[in-house]
Chains A and B, each alone.
Chain A
């Protein structure tokens, strides 16, 4: 008598019928979808997914149902609550993202507002061009020589075949230290470093010497009592004037680009024999027939003067202790200040020396 009444047809429980579960689910989904803020969503979660939400309450009724109905109702309610929780989680991400977007949008700045909390310094172009030149020669396996700016007369002149009465010695207007018998000068060229290097080291020698030199020129737009040169010296077995040309062409290309080249014109320097002036193919018009005539840089010549060079005079080798029977070499030198003024269209050399920060700033940390 007391066995389960499997034929018992229970009274239908309204909250668990399919239509009602669907309605509660849809109501919950609509509420979640309608939230506009994370706070509203929190409320919707309480209302529709909390302990006292309609579906939670309906869920409690399931236990009273007969097995078959229990299973169906359980599935129905479980699916509905799952859908609601998913919707809430999805909405949570959406709303959080939207709120962050809004916050970030509110933080939008005017990017054209300048920032100069970090003071900006710069290096003088005459320094950086010397570094640049040094790097070119370093890359060729050369080394960088240097020497004092106040120099012994013997090293500045005699050792370089400029004897006491040599005409070239008067051509260079030299600053002498007082008293003159001290035989000290402000070096008139970087060439005493050639002599110093030969006196201090044995060949092979391949050095470039950027540095300051002095002549007694009053300062004006095109003259200064100080300027900068780079000097090159190579002493080795079997070096010829062709190696000089090759080195200069390579140097020209490193500074002025792959198409650059040099040419020699005969000249005279006491420390080289034969000697030549170096002309550089005009870096503006490249001696292009269509442009050269109107070129302001080379004034229609197609070439610009670059420096002087030659085969080291054996007398210099002898004075500096290098055996001229075994070794030969070449030397060259060119001004660096004019390289700056001509490449950057600077009309007045004094601008390099006045120290106006607006002159140096555009060069930044390097050329």
Chain B
């Protein structure tokens, strides 16, 4: 809302010593937040001039310029010469003026922020131009007609008058942010009331005016409940050709609208002043009674902006017998527009249901000054008074008469009241506020208060423009802004002792710290993906990960889904790091992935009471599955070549080690088995299993996938369902269990069929005897020394008893048990 400060000061007597900045600060304290103070910034001798002579001169380039003599008042004029009267010589390229017109001249020394420099006398087109005749654009005046220079209405000023004053260029405009619960502040009336309250000064409501009424004005039929009040007034004998008085045109433009014609300017002016959008129809173009109804599908209207719009049955229309003459509350139609020849005017002022207007405005992508106000709500008591004000201004400025009739269809809703305890503000705010202060604050907001000191009850009846006040706490807010938000003391509440992080929160944090301490750098990725991303990952057409949650309104149609795998984002980041010259890269991410349930819709409940447990469960049931995953990617060297150190490249097993180590920090154990799973190398991928369930994969990427992502060399990666790990993590770790008796170290070198896995044999050894404390594979060999189809696997085994030193016989027993178990896989000692 743009608030012209001089206009505001006209409506309410702000003390003279209050600066615009102070006023803005005070309004911000009153919940009318300042966005910015607008001021043209024009300074210097901007002066009204009268064009004395215009001499067109054609230039070599074919352009015609005007060499003008302009009377800029005795103070600024050069003295008369033999050939020229007193004035200044100015070159002007515009042609929309003639000798005798009043114009605005930037004399040398004038600073125009729009141009960014100070005007000086300069030589141009063979003359010394002693200033510049200004256009609206050059002065930073928005909204107006920008073709050519400004020609002021005749006799509206004198040569030598300050152009800054005449054009209001020195006026401050407050651009205020108006919150949804302060719709009343979309008017000078509303802002002025808050100013009066803020400074404790008297306020005279400009909407308090007599409404004359004798019979009907123009017939109206309302056929839709979305219109609660509809008022018409008629003015006859109006002269549409009369100019708009400068002050009104200027205020309309300073509020960000265009000055169009006297009738339209008055209509807009009253909307700014009182907050009631209204419309003026050329009565002679209306055909029959005005009606209000919903549109028929496919019905069309050409609106005032010359757009033809196709309507839907949700659109609320103003119609006459011929069809639509306006989209209610949003924009009028072109057919019944006021023209220069209009003499009979029907003024409409109505009240519409805010959601209807809001939806219509969104549907047509059409935001007007009227729709902005209607969708937030307009004082329903205003229409008749606003129509009266419009009619009176029209007659005052354009002549004619107001017909005595007043048509009012419908009525404003009855006032309702809210009851509070006088100490509610104290209880809610934690500030001691007396009952007197509460009552005064409410009354200052226009609320009618019935206070019973005996019971402490306050019955508050909000005024018609405060339809947002419905609850006791709404009243508390009104008290607070009068008392002052800075009066709220600072008291630290004593929370009951908490239980710290939940187990899941603690373990998720621990997992992140662990992954970083493994040498991986954390990244965060955008979760938006598309089919191309799944293709690039080499997922089969029926891969479950292609079944993603799809957005109805994605930012990019290429990436409409939420990701099902963190590898997409991680590989994007990896590629970015490669492109930025990094050779050794190790990244991880912990984030949610999303899998749809393809269930039904999430229910929408009322808010008058809590949903039942079953209803709440139904909400959760409709949500996609969205567990936290952890994922990692490594390429290049794990250890760089250095002094005394050979480079150690990341290999497939490093990707598995991350998974195992991550599990270990969560006190759980994973098992692995060979797997074929995109985007991994078909021979170098492990499924990660937790209690027999696959919870992730790790290994080396399929080199084709690495290449498709622009990644050099071998790339290791993994992804695991972290939520599943955390859920499986024991509440208490395993009890330490170790023996202090001496260890016996035994080595075994087996020859086994090639298809026996190291892990399977290792597991057998580990379980072969109770003395086996640990098993460690230290060599695998295939080649000349081993027959074809076989391989050698060498293990270091540590044996220990819990209750004694092992005897030779004990060790022999254990060795034999190990050999027997190994043999079940066809493994024999070498």
Contacts and interface: CB of A to CB of B under 8 A. Distances in A.
A315 B519 contact: no
A276 interface: yes
B247 interface: no
B576 A355 contact: yes
Of A113, A114, A182, the most chain B CB neighbours within 10 A belong to A182
A247 B493 contact: yes
B474 A265 contact: no
Nearest to A228: B524
Given A141-B496, A246-B492, A311-B428, A266 B29 contact: yes
Nearest to B522: A124
A263 interface: yes
Nearest to A146: B505
Contacts of B585: 357
B446 to A, nearest CB: 17
Contacts of B182: 268
A183 B622 contact: yes
Interface stretch (A32-40, A65-73, A155-163): A155-163
B603 A276 contact: no
Nearest to A131: B509
A278 B608 CA distance: 30
A249 interface: yes
A240 B622 contact: no
Interface in A311-334: 311, 313-315, 318-321, 328
A150 interface: yes
Contact of B521 (A148, A182, A361): A361
A144 interface: yes
Contact of A240 (B428, B471, B639): B428
A177 interface: yes
Given A153-B604, A274-B480, A121 B518 contact: yes
Nearest to A110: B643
Contact of A184 (B520, B528, B574, B602): B602
Contact of B488 (A119, A134, A184, A241): A241
Nearest to B520: A121
A123 to B, nearest CB: 5
B355 interface: yes
Interface string A253-282: 000000001011111101001111100000
B549 to A, nearest CB: 6
B68 to A, nearest CB: 45
A344 interface: no
A127 B512 contact: yes
Nearest to A320: B610
Contacts of A30: none
A167 B497 CA distance: 39
Contact of A138 (B33, B480, B500, B523): B500
Contacts, number: 314
A179 B549 CA distance: 10
A60 interface: no
Interface stretch (A87-95, A168-176, A285-293): A168-176
B430 interface: yes
A314 B358 CA distance: 26
Nearest to B359: A165
Given A239-B493, A242-B489, A266-B485, A116 B607 contact: no
B29 A265 contact: yes
A175 B552 CA distance: 7
Contacts of B592: 148-149
A229 to B, nearest CB: 15
A273 B472 CA distance: 10
Given A318-B608, A328-B428, A267 B179 contact: yes
Contacts of A218: 555
Contacts of A352: 524
B123 interface: no
Interface string B460-504: 000000000001111011001100011011111111111111100
Interface residues of A, number: 107
B471 A236 contact: no
Contact of A121 (B427, B493, B586): B586
B166 interface: no
Contact of A158 (B33, B358, B472, B604): B604
Contacts of A75: none
B635 to A, nearest CB: 12
Given A178-B552, A357-B521, A360-B522, A152 B376 contact: no
Contacts of B588: 121
B431 A216 contact: no
Contacts of A155: 619
A107 B601 CA distance: 74
A202 to B, nearest CB: 12
B366 to A, nearest CB: 14
A355 B573 contact: yes
A195 B59 CA distance: 75
B807 interface: no
A37 B299 CA distance: 114
B629 to A, nearest CB: 13
Interface in B695-717: none
Interface string B337-353: 00000000000000000
Interface string B508-550: 0100110111111111111110000000000000000000011
Given A126-B524, A150-B624, A321-B610, A245 B488 contact: yes
A152 B523 contact: no
A206 B182 CA distance: 31
B355 A241 contact: no
B497 A165 contact: no
Interface string B369-403: 00000011000000000000000000000000000
Given A170-B362, A184-B623, A241-B430, A116 B640 contact: yes
Given A175-B551, A199-B616, A266 B30 contact: yes
Nearest to B580: A356
Given A218-B555, A243-B493, A357-B582, A150 B521 contact: no
Interface in B643-660: 643, 645
Contacts of B521: 121-122, 357, 360-361
A226 B497 CA distance: 33
Contact of B607 (A236, A311, A315): A315
B602 A250 contact: no
Q: Which 8 A-B pairs have the closest CB atoms?
A: A119-B519, A355-B573, A242-B430, A321-B610, A240-B430, A268-B179, A266-B31, A355-B523
Interface of B: 28-31, 33, 179-182, 354-355, 358-359, 362, 375-376, 427-431, 471-474, 476-477, 480-481, 485-486, 488-502, 505, 509, 512-513, 515-528, 549-555, 560, 562, 569-570, 572-574, 576-577, 580, 582, 584-588, 590, 592, 594, 600-605, 607-611, 616, 619-620, 622-624, 626, 638-640, 642-643, 645
17 contacts: A123-B513, A140-B492, A142-B495, A143-B502, A151-B623, A165-B359, A175-B552, A176-B553, A236-B493, A241-B431, A243-B493, A274-B428, A353-B524, A353-B525, A353-B526, A355-B573, A357-B577
